[in-house]
Structure formats: structure tokens, C-alpha cells
């Protein structure tokens, strides 16, 4: 027997909301974002915005969300860039000299966590979603990867959804480096990988099955279901309904957008 949507969401004590393609597209807030966030706030249901996009830090995302009409504090935002910095500090505390491939915002993130950014004799290489990428930087990264320096990536996303299409994301950069060097990152931190699952469970102090991930991408957001999280796919971003049956990662629930999800939660 098929479960009703409210039954699928029963037992959920916290929600994690993806940003690009779920809460907004480019500079347009998507339907239901304000209603859902207000409902979660007023119902005292813990929630967190979590994006794999490491080109901005949480302060910039908070500014954007507030500009678009969502009243949120930056402490409610978690990025794969921050997750990577925390992962390195916890598991590789001796790696302080980082050759970082990312935007100025990601550089701020890492310096804020106490790392020293260098281009010579690094202890680790970190690849983020670098919209300032140049051929010279790619060449240097490939040289470092080929030399066997520990190599980390903030997330695996291949494309980033926009209002009128997509832009190449870090997954395309990883493929470029792999084609040149024959080597993939030693660790990829962002969704759906184990480091972020642990971070979310610690953040909420909940079991994985008490947390619901809401997002638009099957191989990152919905793949978190393999770690035990409940998952809701929104069709407002990258994924079309016809893509779902073809994916090895199946959502627990499919909704049109956050407005549809808000209606289900409100009426459950």
C-alpha cells in the first residue's frame, strides 16, 4: 500500500533545505519558500539551509536570502566550504598550509578557520566551486595532484542550476583534473558524503532517520537517503519528473516545489 505524504514525513524532527534550485533560482525566490520557513520557525521545528555551492560563505548567503525576502540568520546556513574546513581541522589538524582553488569568499572561509593559504609547498590541495578559475590555476592544481599532495574537494556537483539553464560546477573541474592526472580527490566532503551526514547529526543531535533532506538534485540531495535520511525531491530545479525512475537514488516523496511541501506539512 502506498503511504500518504504525511505518513512519509511522520517522525521527522528537523528539515535540511537545499538552496540553488530549491529555495531560489538565480535571484528569484521559488514558490513556498517564505511560507515553509515561516511555518518551521513558528512551529519550533529545527531547520537548516545546506548548500553544496562553496563559491559563497554563509554570510553572503544570508545577505542574499534576506534581500530576497527570507528573514534568516547566517547561523542557519551551512555550506560545503565550511564543512570542508571543519573536516580538515578535525581529521587532519596538521594540514595548515592549503593551496585553495576557490573564490575570494571561500578564501575568507578558510582563513577564518585558521588556515594559511599558499601556492608553494602546500600540505593539502582543496578544490572548491571556483568561478575565478583560470588555466594557470588548473595547471598548478594538476601539478600538485600529480605530485601526490593530499587532495580534497568541497562537493561533487557537476552543474549548478540557474534561471535559464546551468553553469559548470566543481564536478566538471574534478573531471578535468582526473583526465590530466588519472587521480580523483582523496575526499569529497559535501552532499551526499559521510562527513556531512555526521555534521548534520551532530548539529541537530538527532538520528539520521529523524532528519529530512529537501532538494532538487538526485545524486547529492536524494542520495543522502542511503545514509538513512528521509528525502524529498522538489521539481523546481535540476531534476525533471522523467529523471526519477532512471536514478539509483529514489526520493521518499516527490513534490512540485516548497509550496507543495508546505501544504503537506501544514495539513498533516
Contact 68, 95 (CB under 8 A): no
pLDDT of residue 138: 97
| Tally of domains within the chain | 1
Structural domain includes residue 128: yes
This prediction's pTM: 0.90
Alpha-carbon gap, residue 38 to 40, rounded angstroms = 6
Residue ranges of the chain with per-residue pLDDT less than 50: none
CATH code (residue 175): 3.40.50.1000
pLDDT of residue 202: 93
pLDDT of residue 143: 98
Structural domain includes residue 21: no
Alpha-carbon gap, residue 167 to 253, rounded angstroms = 27
Structural domain includes residue 69: no
pLDDT of residue 161: 83
pLDDT of residue 83: 95
| Residues facing 185 on adjacent strands | none
Structural domain includes residue 145: yes
Structural domain includes residue 54: no
pLDDT of residue 3: 82
pLDDT of residue 164: 83
Domain assignment of residue 85, given as a range: 81-188
pLDDT of residue 82: 95
Amino acid at each position: 500500500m502506498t503511504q500518504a505524504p504525511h505518513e512519509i514525513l511522520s517522525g521527522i524532527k528537523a528539515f535540511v533545505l537545499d538552496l540553488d534550485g530549491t529555495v531560489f533560482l538565480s535571484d528569484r525566490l521559488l514558490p513556498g519558500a517564505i511560507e515553509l520557513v515561516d511555518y518551521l520557525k513558528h512551529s519550533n521545528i529545527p531547520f537548516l539551509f545546506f548548500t553544496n555551492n562553496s563559491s559563497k560563505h554563509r554570510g553572503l548567503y544570508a545577505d542574499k536570502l534576506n534581500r530576497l525576502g527570507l528573514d534568516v540568520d547566517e547561523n542557519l546556513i551551512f555550506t560545503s566550504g565550511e564543512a570542508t574546513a571543519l573536516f580538515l581541522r578535525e581529521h587532519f589538524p596538521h594540514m595548515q598550509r592549503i593551496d585553495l582553488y576557490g573564490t575570494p569568499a571561500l578564501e575568507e572561509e578558510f582563513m577564518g578557520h585558521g588556515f594559511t593559504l599558499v601556492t608553494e609547498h602546500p600540505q593539502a590541495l582543496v578544490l572548491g566551486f571556483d568561478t575565478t578559475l583560470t588555466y594557470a590555476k588548473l595547471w598548478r592544481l594538476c601539478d600538485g595532484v600529480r605530485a601526490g599532495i593530499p587532495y580534497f574537494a568541497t562537493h561533487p556537483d557537476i552543474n549548478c542550476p540557474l534561471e535559464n539553464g546551468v553553469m559548470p560546477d566543481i564536478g566538471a573541474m574534478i573531471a578535468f583534473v582526473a583526465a590530466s592526472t588519472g587521480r580523483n580527490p582523496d575526499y569529497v566532503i559535501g552532499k551526499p558524503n559521510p562527513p556531512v551526514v555526521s555534521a548534520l547529526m551532530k548539529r541537530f543531535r538527532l538520528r539520521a532517520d529523524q532528519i529530512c533532506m529537501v532538494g532538487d538534485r538526485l545524486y547529492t540531495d536524494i542520495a543522502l537517503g542511503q545514509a538513512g535520511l528521509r528525502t524529498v525531491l522538489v521539481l523546481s530545479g535540476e531534476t525533471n519528473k522523467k529523471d526519477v525512475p532512471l536514478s539509483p537514488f529514489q526520493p521518499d516523496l516527490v513534490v512540485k516545489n516548497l509550496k507543495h511541501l508546505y501544504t503537506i506539512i501544514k495539513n498533516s
